[in-house]
Amino acid sequence: MNLAMNTYRDDWLKAVIADKAVSGGTWLVASAIACAMGPGRLATTDWQTLNASLRRDRSNPAMLASIKELEDAGYVERYLGDGRASTQGWRLTRPGKE
């Protein structure tokens, strides 16, 4: 996947990393979510696939804790699709910017 030329994603990841309230392990998860980002501001993937992309066991519950941390900090929102397809994942957001 070509990760070039997506300034929203790049700025989002920089904001997560700069946020002192976000733990270091969650930065790694944020990077995996950013890599899964497609058109728009959506990362259409599931937590098991994110675990696999980080070479973790697919059912590692630490992923869910990191995603919850990102949700609580305002960096992701759950995306449940548009009703026409089974696409789900997360919408990337920036606290105070949306």
pLDDT digits (tens, 9 = 90+) for 7-42: 889 899 999 999 999 998 898 999 999 988 877 788
- What CATH number matches the domain at 7-92, 2.40.50, 3.40.50, 1.10.10, 2.60.40? 1.10.10
**What's residue 1's pLDDT?**
47
Domain boundaries, the chain: 7-92
Cβ-in-10-Å burial (0-12, 13-18, 19+) of 62 comes to middle
Token look-up 């995603």 returns 67
pTM: 0.82
